[in-house]
Structure 1
């Protein structure tokens, strides 16, 4: 009898507990579905601040049903690591350099072709025509291309002045490890001059290499030089845009598909607005970074007109090499160069 009473009492308690849990679930909003995005942009940067603002906008627009979980400062690893984590579902998206996505969608590197652009005005007008086309190529790989954000132009920076291509002789020049575009530029440089020591290194090892003298010449943007602290180890900037630096925000389409259709549109739109704001802000930020470099004692070197022609010829050689090796689609390159020629009022 005692056992029966204990069993009945136990069932009553279980039913009461289950009812309480159901009431609690009904009273508590469902947890937000969070898109996990990773970036190398450090905490406290303008990029992270704008992305956190996008998170707040998304949560408000979706009534708390969707949000972002942001991993800044490279805590999820480099671009290769982030792509791998996206494939296994540990992450849902990230901000990548164009070169990191080139294996999936080679056309994304078109804007990075050496000595292609001469000003931000050219970049803006060309991107207005081509951004959608370049981002659209990611769809075939299950990725949604949200937007492109420029990081300014990369320039040659060095311990000793580099006014001419020949001035690179005897220099220890950093080359990004595993970057076909950088490899093509370096081959063109080596064909034009001799005595260069090429030092392939991942990005994270360059600061130490500059400090120890393993490397004395690099290429990066003004913003990058300050963020990466390379400005403390270089004295000169060759004021000729080497190539356009930019990043791409992508999200896994499978992750987006798990969001209700109405909310999905709000999420994508908020991310696009945020990345467009970052893109616009970077033009002003680059100008400030250039002035900061000057204030810190970096001298800006301008080549003579004849030397400038040699630098640009170097770019044409590198682009031709990339085409020959299958690194870029020749038809797309021709289309882009034609658009630039029209903007400049040049004949082909």
Structure 2
């Protein structure tokens, strides 16, 4: 056999090995298509492809096209999907510890949220590993505010509203009901339609301003109560089955790109939210800002409600760690 023939065969074999080693990770998310979050995921995928020289590729399915978060998790179990960018509600279906990230009126600032997240991440990673999942990183996309069809100024007003709640999050719905709220479980995609209807099932919906602008819900829910309900936190997870198909060197590259995404959305979110509020106000949105006394009363009442989550919605050890970190952060910053 000639040297040229041997070289040709070697090239073919090498190509076959390279192709067989390629890993395509299919990721689903509720993040709407063409939003900055979706673009950040696409850019992360491009980085994966480039940095691993095509050994790892990412296909992103945005806007709930693969189903709600419960369906996404089932598809991950069957290897139809290998990854997801899930909200804290979706993550809580895996372990209730993740409810800590969405507790209403528990966190005041983005820096406070980052400190709590850093403290809890090792504990939450362990819980995911027990489920056969790997946490690649977080995505914090601004603050959830309350948009409504009529002005809301007190916690009593909020309790009387027909409030959107995530379909499938049955325990959250039960918690709201037991604390005097009136939640209505729907898919996020149902929010604009139900707010538009005069006989709609909801008249208030928590949303980050950027998403409220993207979905145009402010046209019907013309009031925004500026109280920072909770940060909108999502977790980027991948099945261990898929993760183990990736070489250690490539895992480091994937992790670095995921961390870059985390920093990107954390940096962009407050800018986008501020600009979104400005644009919505120009189109008729009325922002309700409470005076210091009213804000303190609202927070005090809300804190009592949130405390009922300890042990019921959030495991006691996770809740205690979150409170400890939050209080330590506030003390170190003179609050």
Does residue 78 (structure 1) correspond to residue 68 (structure 2)? The answer is yes
Q: Structure 1-normalised TM-score?
A: 0.82
Shift of 1:169: 7.2
Change in Cα spacing, 1:92 to 1:168, as seen in structure 2 (3 Å) is closer
Q: Structure 2-normalised TM-score?
A: 0.85
Moved more, 88-97 or 109-118: 109-118
Aligned partner of 1:310 in structure 2 is 297
**Structure 2 residue ranges without an equivalent (≥5):** 1-5
Alignment length (residue pairs): 322
Aligned partner of 1:329 in structure 2 is 315
Change in Cα spacing, 1:134 to 1:158, as seen in structure 2 (3 Å) is same
Contact 2:159 2:180 in 1 (8 A): no
SS of the counterpart of 1:345? helix
Change in Cα spacing, 1:100 to 1:169, as seen in structure 2 (3 Å) is closer
**CA deviation string 1:185-208 (max 9, x = no partner):** 453244xxxxxx543322222221
2:165 to 156, 175, 181: 175
Does residue 203 (structure 1) correspond to residue 193 (structure 2)? The answer is no
Task: Give me the whole-angstrom Cα distance separating, in 1, the residues matched to 2:265 and 2:236.
Answer: 11
Moved more, 144-153 or 47-56: 47-56
Shift of 1:228: 2.7
Contact 1:173 1:199 in 2 (8 A): yes
SS of the counterpart of 1:154? strand
1:142 to 132, 136, 139: 132
**CA deviation string 1:127-183 (max 9, x = no partner):** 333334333421111111111111222222212211123434764333333433354
1:262 to 228, 242, 249: 249
Aligned partner of 1:188 in structure 2 is 179
Change in Cα spacing, 1:60 to 1:203, as seen in structure 2 (3 Å) is closer
Task: Give me the whole-angstrom Cα distance separating, in 1, the residues matched to 2:280 and 2:121.
Answer: 30
Change in Cα spacing, 1:286 to 1:262, as seen in structure 2 (3 Å) is same
Change in Cα spacing, 1:164 to 1:57, as seen in structure 2 (3 Å) is closer
**CA deviation string 1:57-102 (max 9, x = no partner):** 2223222222212222322122111111111111110111111121
Change in Cα spacing, 1:344 to 1:205, as seen in structure 2 (3 Å) is same
Task: Give me the whole-angstrom Cα distance separating, in 1, the residues matched to 2:114 and 2:276.
Answer: 20
Does residue 162 (structure 1) correspond to residue 148 (structure 2)? The answer is no
Shift of 1:106: 1.7
Aligned partner of 2:3 in structure 1 is none
1:8-47 map, 5 Å: 25-26=12-13, 28=15, 30-31=18-19, 32-47=22-37
